[in-house]
Every structure is written in structure tokens, then in C-alpha cells.
């Protein structure tokens, strides 16, 4: 099996990207800043103990792995299929499994840099006191387990998909399944035990406990290390190690499946009759054809750019798929969970919806830039403002049905179980961020070449930064004023910069 040529090629390609150096410096600076902020805002400012800083750093790293790694890995193989270079690789002595292993080796190294960048900060908590070796070992094993599961989700999605949106959607779904499996591995032993009565009465509470335990959000590891015996700590550490070995085994199985998928996709074949039949049944309009064509023609005449971005069934499926998915989730929550758990789960639903908005915003005009359509749009009489307004309006319309379902669920839960503070804070934060995120995403989509960089910047500046400021300034309705104001001002500045970028592109196209 030969995979060294693929690995060397990937290393050279990554080394030629200037953005990677800026990303490394930015991540290191961000972690150092968060570390200093946590120290200065601890229970004893300037002398914060390690048991206060360590759980927050671990939770940040745990969430970053599940958010960044699947998105970072989702296009490693599908890009070769789109560009037609996958078949060229098979003209060499390389095997499909070798290609997958070479690609996965680079992704492992890239993902490990995320963990290694946080290790100095986590180790620095020892100097602050209050952190044991059990805390550090549990954090390392949990993060490595999450890393291999997230890598498995991204690699499998990339091997099974050719188009970038499908690969990204599949990576998100597979990563959700992986995270659910990881949490279930903690819930099931307790669920079957004598103390599982509470879990059986509230499944959402059980998985919330497992998520808090994996992220150490409530400093459970420190209390466990102080109260448990050496045998109990050894048993807990063994459980973490077994989960890591299981994640590595799953990753190996995914590599085998990905190798088979790549071998099957080496030669792109036309759709089979069964695929054509499925596409005709589920992807083409069957009823009210005259009304559909009239509405489409009217939309083409009124807003050609909006029609261009919503012309395919994939775009329409994305729009209504988010709405349907949120309706199903809300239905399951209201049917099987208590009303208090239902209201608490709305923050998770809102974060997932903002995650989708950030992906769509960071992909603004991405396909048009790749196939040259953006240059054609810039030589038309349409102004830069029309291009910007059309894209932002399209993102808003794409998530409008899902947003309406989310707001209705929050208000309905608040009417039955009044909690004006949580409802006001949640709706204010979600409304401002959802409204301003398309501006930030459009700017970074035009200024950066790679989607991952654009998405990380969009999600960080639009979601993570205001959330961090609100946590530091205490989570309250008044504490939300500063981060939301900064988010609004940032969106206005980046909107002007985006228009300037399009103007510069148009000037270059008209310069002889």
C-alpha cells in the first residue's frame, strides 16, 4: 500500500497556503487571550485557581473539535472528484485505500494541531492549582475520542459525496450521530444502574448531564477526583481509554468504507435508471406546473439574482429541509420531554440554526467565484449594492421558515412556563446575530479563498465573540447590549468593505 506521495502532495499544498500561517497565529492568540481573560475574571481576579479556568478551556476545545473538524475534513476527497483529479491519481501505482489513508493522515495532523495548540494552556492550569492529573488525562482522552469520531464523520461524508454542499450536510449529520453515540456511552451505564430512575424520567436531562460531563462544564472531574477512591478513578480512566480505542476502531472502519467508495467513484458514471426515477419522483414538480412556472418566471423577471441562487431543487430542499428538521425536533421535544427541558433545549436549537446560517453566509458566491459567473455578473449593469442585497436577502429567505418555527416554539414555551429573562435574552441574541451574520459571512467569503477560513472567521466574529463578551460581562439582558452593539457595528463595517471588494473586482475587469 502506497500513500506517501499523496501525503507529500497534501503537505506541499498546505504549506503553500499563506492563510494557514495566519490561522495558526490567530488560534494561538485567541487561546492566549481567552486564558488571560479567564484568569482576570475568575472568582479571585488576578489569582484565579486552575479548577475555574481548566473546565472552561476544555469545554471550548471540546466544542471546537465537533464544530471545526467535520467541516475541515468534509471536502478533502470530494474536491478531487469535482476537479477530475481523482482518476489521474489512479493512473499511478496508488490504490484507493492509499489515497484515503494519505488524505486522512493530513487531516489527523491538522486536527491534532488544534489539540496541541490548547495543551500549553491546559497544562498552565497546573501552575494555578486545583487541577489533578485525572483532570488532564480525562480531558486528553475525551478530546482525542471526539477528534477521531469527528474525523470519521468528515472522511465518510467526503468519500460518499461529490458536491460540496452535500458533503458538508452529510458531515454535519454524521458528526451529530457520532456525538450522540459518545454521549450515549456515558448515559447507558447509568441508565441501567440503580441510580438511573432520574434518567428514565427525563431523557433530555440524561444527555444534558452526559454533555456537561464530557465538557466538564460543572467541574465534575475535580469533585470526582477529590471524593473518589484510587480504584474508582482508575476505572473511570479505563472507561475513557476504552472509548478512545473504540473511536480509533470506528475511524479504521470508516477508512475501509471510504476506500471502497473511492474505488467505486474512480470513474464517474451517468445516473442509473433508478436514480433518474427517484429524481423525477422526488425532485421535479408534478402538480400545479403552470403555477410553479408562472411564479418562477415572475421571480426571474423581478429578481434574477435571487432566482439564480434558488433555481435548483437542492437550494429549495435546503430551505425547507431546515424548516422540516426543526419542526421534527420541536415535535420530539414537546412530546417526550418535560416543558422545562423543552425551554432549555431552545438554546441548542438556536445555536444549530445560527450554525447553518454561518455556513450559508460563508459560502456566499463561492460557486460563482469558482466557475467564473461572478466575473460575468460584475460586467453586467447590476451594481455592487444589488449583488450584496440579493445575496443577503437570499440568506434571510433561506432560513426564514426555520426561524419562524424557532421563534414560535420559544414564545409558546414562554407563554406556558413564563421566564421573561431567558426568553428576552435568547430572542435578542438570536435575532441580532441572525440578522448581521450574512453581512460578516459575505465579506469573508469575498476576501478569503478557502471556505474553511471564511466559515471560521464568520462563526467566530458573529457568534463566538459576542457570546464570549456576554459571558465575561455576566449573562443578563443588560450584559447583552455591548456584544450585540459591537456585532451590529462590525456587520456595518464589513458590509462596506464587501462592497469595496466588489468594486475593486469590477475595476480590475474593466481595466485594459
Cα R_g (the chain), whole angstroms:
24
3-class SS string, 414-458: HHHCCCHHHHHHHHHHHHHHHHHHHHHHHHHHHHCCCHHHHHHHH
Asked whether 340 and 411 are in contact (CB, 8 A), the reply is no
Q: What is the pLDDT of residue 249?
A: 93
Asked whether 155 and 104 are in contact (CB, 8 A), the reply is yes
User: Each residue of 123-171: pLDDT tens digit?
Assistant: 777 777 777 788 888 888 888 999 999 999 988 888 888 777 778 888 8
- Report angle CA 141, 142, 144 to the nearest 5 degrees: 65
What does the domain layout of the chain look like in residue ranges? 1-216+236-266, 287-512
Residues making up the chain, counted from first to last: 512
* Long-range contacts, stretch 336-342, CB < 8 angstroms, 24+ apart: 336/203, 337/202, 337/203, 337/204, 338/202, 338/204, 339/413, 339/416, 339/417, 340/417, 341/202, 341/204, 341/205, 341/208, 342/413
In this structure, what are the phi and psi dihedrals at residue 450, rounded to the nearest 5 degrees? -105, 140
Asked whether 161 and 170 are in contact (CB, 8 A), the reply is yes
More confident residue, 273 or 42: 273
- Report angle CA 27, 29, 30 to the nearest 5 degrees: 65
Structure letter (DSSP) for residue 266:
S
Q: What is the pLDDT of residue 476?
A: 45
Whole-angstrom distance, CA of residue 257 vs CA of residue 263: 10
The runs of H, that is alpha helices, within 228-338 are 230-264, 273-282, 289-302, 304-309, 313-336
Asked whether 401 and 320 are in contact (CB, 8 A), the reply is yes
Whole-angstrom distance, CA of residue 487 vs CA of residue 437: 9
Quickly state the pLDDT bin for 414 (edges 50, 70, 90): confident
Quickly state the pLDDT bin for 480 (edges 50, 70, 90): low
User: Each residue of 302-356: pLDDT tens digit?
Assistant: 666 677 666 666 777 778 888 888 888 888 777 766 666 677 677 778 888 888 8
Helix (H, G, I), strand (E, B) or coil at 45: coil
Quickly state the pLDDT bin for 496 (edges 50, 70, 90): low
Helix (H, G, I), strand (E, B) or coil at 272: coil
Q: State the DSSP H helix or E strand holding residue 271, giving kind and residue range, or none if neither.
A: none
Whole-angstrom distance, CA of residue 133 vs CA of residue 139: 10
Q: What is the pLDDT of residue 298?
A: 77
Residue owning grid cell 490561522? 23
Per-residue buried b or exposed e for 126-147, using 16+ beta carbons within 10 Å of the residue's own CB: eebebbbebbbbbbbbbbbbbb
Q: What is the pLDDT of residue 247?
A: 92
Asked whether 6 and 103 are in contact (CB, 8 A), the reply is yes
Distances (CA, A) of 323 to 152, 327, 353, 463: 27, 6, 10, 21
pLDDT at 86 over 80: no
pLDDT at 473 over 60: no
From first CA to last CA, the distance across the chain in angstroms is: 52
Residue owning grid cell 469520531? 149
Q: State the DSSP H helix or E strand holding residue 189, giving kind and residue range, or none if neither.
A: helix 164-192
Q: How many CA atoms lie within 13 A of 152 on its CB side?
A: 25
Asked whether 73 and 161 are in contact (CB, 8 A), the reply is no
**Mean local confidence (pLDDT), 70-89:** 78
Q: What is the mean pLDDT of the chain?
A: 75
In this structure, what are the phi and psi dihedrals at residue 511, rounded to the nearest 5 degrees? -85, 125
Report the share of the chain in percent with pLDDT over 90: 3
Q: What is the pLDDT of residue 266?
A: 63
Lowest mean pLDDT, pick from 76-85, 294-303, 465-474: 465-474
pLDDT at 271 over 80: no
Q: Which residues contact 65 (CB under 8 A, 6 or more apart)?
A: 111, 114, 115, 143, 146, 147, 150
Report the share of the chain in percent with pLDDT over 70: 71
Whole-angstrom distance, CA of residue 322 vs CA of residue 353: 8
**Mean local confidence (pLDDT), 48-76:** 80
Structure letter (DSSP) for residue 162:
S
Number of C-beta neighbours around residue 315 at 10 A: 14
Whole-angstrom distance, CA of residue 101 vs CA of residue 159: 12
More confident residue, 481 or 148: 148
Quickly state the pLDDT bin for 245 (edges 50, 70, 90): very high
Whole-angstrom distance, CA of residue 409 vs CA of residue 346: 8
Q: What is the pLDDT of residue 477?
A: 42
Q: What is the pLDDT of residue 193?
A: 60
Amino acid at each position: 500500500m502506497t500513500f506517501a506521495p499523496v501525503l507529500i502532495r497534501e503537505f506541499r499544498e498546505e504549506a503553500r497556503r499563506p492563510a494557514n500561517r495566519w490561522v495558526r497565529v490567530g488560534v494561538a492568540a485567541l487561546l492566549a487571550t481567552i486564558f488571560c481573560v479567564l484568569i482576570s475574571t475568575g472568582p479571585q481576579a488576578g489569582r484565579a485557581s486552575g479548577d475555574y479556568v481548566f473546565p472552561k478551556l476544555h469545554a471550548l476545545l471540546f466544542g471546537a473539535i465537533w464544530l471545526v473538524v467535520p467541516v475541515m475534513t468534509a471536502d478533502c476527497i470530494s474536491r478531487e472528484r469535482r476537479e477530475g483529479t481523482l482518476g489521474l491519481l489512479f493512473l499511478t501505482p496508488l490504490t484507493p485505500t492509499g489515497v484515503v489513508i494519505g488524505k486522512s493522515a493530513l487531516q489527523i495532523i491538522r486536527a491534532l494541531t488544534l489539540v496541541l495548540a490548547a495543551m500549553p494552556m491546559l497544562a498552565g492550569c497546573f501552575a494555578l492549582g486545583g487541577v489533578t492529573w485525572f483532570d488532564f488525562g480525562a480531558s486528553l482522552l475525551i478530546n482525542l475520542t471526539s477528534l477521531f469520531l469527528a474525523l470519521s464523520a468528515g472522511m465518510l461524508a467526503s468519500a460518499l459525496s461529490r458536491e460540496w454542499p452535500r458533503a458538508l450536510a452529510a458531515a454535519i449529520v454524521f458528526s451529530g450521530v457520532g456525538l450522540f453515540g459518545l454521549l450515549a456511552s456515558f448515559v447507558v451505564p447509568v441508565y441501567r444502574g440503580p441510580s438511573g430512575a432520574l434518567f428514565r424520567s427525563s431523557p433530555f436531562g440524561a444527555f444534558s448531564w452526559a454533555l456537561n460531563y464530557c465538557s466538564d462544564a460543572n467541574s465534575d472531574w475535580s469533585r470526582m477526583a477529590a471524593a473518589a477512591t484510587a480504584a474508582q478513578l482508575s476505572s473511570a480512566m479505563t472507561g475513557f481509554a476504552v472509548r478512545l480505542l473504540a473511536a480509533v476502531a470506528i475511524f479504521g472502519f470508516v477508512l475501509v468504507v471510504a476506500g471502497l467508495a473511492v474505488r467505486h467513484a474512480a470513474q464517474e458514471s451517468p445516473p442509473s435508471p433508478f436514480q433518474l426515477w427517484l429524481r423525477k419522483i422526488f425532485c421535479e414538480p408534478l402538480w400545479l406546473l403552470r403555477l410553479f412556472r408562472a411564479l418562477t418566471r415572475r421571480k426571474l423577471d423581478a429578481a434574477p439574482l435571487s432566482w439564480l441562487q434558488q433555481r435548483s431543487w437542492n437550494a429549495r430542499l435546503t430551505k425547507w429541509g431546515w424548516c422540516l428538521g426543526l419542526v421534527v425536533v420541536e415535535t420530539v421535544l414537546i412530546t417526550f420531554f418535560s416543558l422545562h427541558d423543552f425551554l432549555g433545549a431552545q438554546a441548542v436549537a438556536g445555536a444549530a440554526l445560527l450554525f447553518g446560517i454561518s455556513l450559508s453566509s460563508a459560502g456566499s458566491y463561492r460557486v460563482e467565484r469558482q466557475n467564473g459567473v461572478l466575473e460575468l455578473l460584475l460586467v453586467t449593469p447590476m451594481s455592487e449594492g444589488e449583488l450584496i442585497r440579493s445575496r443577503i436577502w437570499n440568506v434571510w429567505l433561506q432560513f426564514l421558515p426555520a426561524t419562524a418555527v424557532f421563534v414560535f416554539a420559544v414564545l409558546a414555551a414562554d407563554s406556558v412556563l413564563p421566564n421573561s429573562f431567558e426568553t428576552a435574552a435568547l430572542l435578542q441574541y438570536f435575532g441580532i446575530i441572525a440578522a448581521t451574520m450574512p453581512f460578516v459571512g459575505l465579506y469573508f467569503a469575498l476576501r478569503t479563498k478557502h471556505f474553511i477560513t471564511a466559515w471560521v472567521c464568520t462563526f467566530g466574529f458573529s457568534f463566538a465573540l459576542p457570546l464570549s463578551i456576554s459571558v465575561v460581562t455576566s449573562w443578563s439582558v443588560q450584559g447583552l447590549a455591548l456584544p450585540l452593539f459591537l456585532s451590529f457595528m462590525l456587520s456595518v463595517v464589513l458590509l462596506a468593505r464587501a462592497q469595496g471588494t466588489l468594486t475593486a473586482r469590477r475595476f480590475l475587469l474593466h481595466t485594459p
